[in-house]
Amino acid sequence: MQAQIQQTVAQYLDEAFALAKDLYEHPELGGQEVRSSAVLCDAFERHGFAVERSFSGIPTAFRAVRDSGVPGPVIGLCAEYDALPDVGHGCGHNLICTSAFLAALALAPVLEKTGGRVEVYGTPAEETSGAKVPLTEAGAFDHLSVVMMAHPAPLAEKSGTSACLLPRQYTFHGKAAHAAACPQEGVNALNAVIELFNGINAMRQHVPRDVQFHGIVSNGGSAPNVVPDLAQARFYIRAAKLNTARMAVERVDHIAQGAALMTGTTVDMESYEVDYYDLQTNEALCRAFIAHQQAMGDILSPQIHDHGSLDLGNVSHAAPCVHGWFGFGDPTLVPHTLAFAQRTVTEDGRQLLRRAACTMALTGYDVLTQPQLLAEIRREFEAQS
């Protein structure tokens, strides 16, 4: 059966790579992936998948399902297809979605013998507003036995962790006045923002080492001779684990309240983007995944790089996940660049697509046919929850 899976991947590899090239030539930003989503949905429908477009009320999301009609494990695959400004598919999302497509095609005939089903989720806007977050909140992934993704990278790496990212916005309200003629009549909202930054800087020494604060002044007033009656700061607050990140947010909230009290202003505090949770790689699933990844020829780098924050982190709190990194074998290659985008449509990109699709399909087959593996994956997931 493993040979059949690889043969199916080989059979449809040219079609999947042509799709990757098409997406490369027509990049669309997050939330605007109208054409990309439609092209992918059309491809799944041509191959007999039941497709739900505008899935869960998100215009460019979709779900493509192949159901055997026999109860069994449910294999979930996540597809990303948003591009970046100026550099297009500089993060290789054109290979992420097509590797999910190709893996699903390879699993489809297997289901006739194993039972169960495969579901591919088109998840827009990973680079911006992260559609996996509202999909997770809606319970879209709760029933999945496993969830897999394959991401291009300079070098192959083991699925690891990602940092939580909690975005917070602080808007201070004061009172405008002429800065020279009657400053005593004003209440300076910008002073409150400055005190917020001072307080956070004073706190940096006294938080766990994995906590990070990235802040900007998003509104500092309109003119130097007007006391600012409104000022605003935005922060990304990161940490390795969700509880730590929430603790850091609470402390920053307290500093903001103190800054308002010090300056006589008032403050509104809110999350201005979705929260990204930490990725919890399921190690039992990852071991099976890596065995196939290495068999396909990927040589895993011993160094685990920091890849920032991923909206798959939220999914990993709802279902067992693995996020594989498949390498171009070039340590000089930098993601989010034109050079990275261009590499996705070379023969290197074609072979990466093949390896990623085979790895996910073969791992899915293991889950479908090895009850002991599925039980181990589930035990680990429940222990993490």
Q: Summarize pLDDT for 146-155 with one digit per residue, the tens.
A: 999 999 999 9
Query: Taking the model in full, what pTM does it have?
Result: 0.90
Measured CA to CA, the distance from residue 257 to residue 136 in angstroms comes to: 32
Question: Could you tell me if 186 and 77 lie in one domain?
Answer: no
Select from 254, 270, 286 the last residue of a domain. Answer: 270
Question: Could you tell me if 158 and 285 lie in one domain?
Answer: yes
DSSP H helical segments within 264-385, as ranges? Answer: 283-295, 312-316, 338-343, 347-369, 371-384
pLDDT in tens, 161-181: 999 999 999 999 999 999 999
Question: Could you tell me if 147 and 293 lie in one domain?
Answer: yes
- pLDDT classification of 306: cutoffs 50, 70, 90: low
pLDDT in tens, 3-23: 999 999 999 999 999 999 999
Question: Could you tell me if 154 and 173 lie in one domain?
Answer: no
* Strand 212-219, strand 321-327: pairing: unpaired
The residue segments making up the domain with residue 51 are 2-162+277-384
CATH number at residue 193: 3.30.70.360
Number of structural domains in the chain:
2
Measured CA to CA, the distance from residue 80 to residue 91 in angstroms comes to: 10
Q: What is the mean pLDDT of residues 196-224?
A: 96
Question: Could you tell me if 229 and 326 lie in one domain?
Answer: no
Question: Could you tell me if 118 and 35 lie in one domain?
Answer: yes
Question: Could you tell me if 208 and 322 lie in one domain?
Answer: no
- Is residue 245's pLDDT more than 80? yes
Question: Could you tell me if 78 and 182 lie in one domain?
Answer: no
Question: Could you tell me if 265 and 377 lie in one domain?
Answer: no
When mean pLDDT is compared across 231-245, 305-319, 360-374, the lowest value belongs to 305-319
Which string of DSSP letters, residue by residue, matches 48-78?
T-EEEESGGG-TT-EEEEEE-SS---EEEEE
Question: Could you tell me if 19 and 157 lie in one domain?
Answer: yes
Question: Could you tell me if 91 and 233 lie in one domain?
Answer: no
Question: Could you tell me if 230 and 333 lie in one domain?
Answer: no
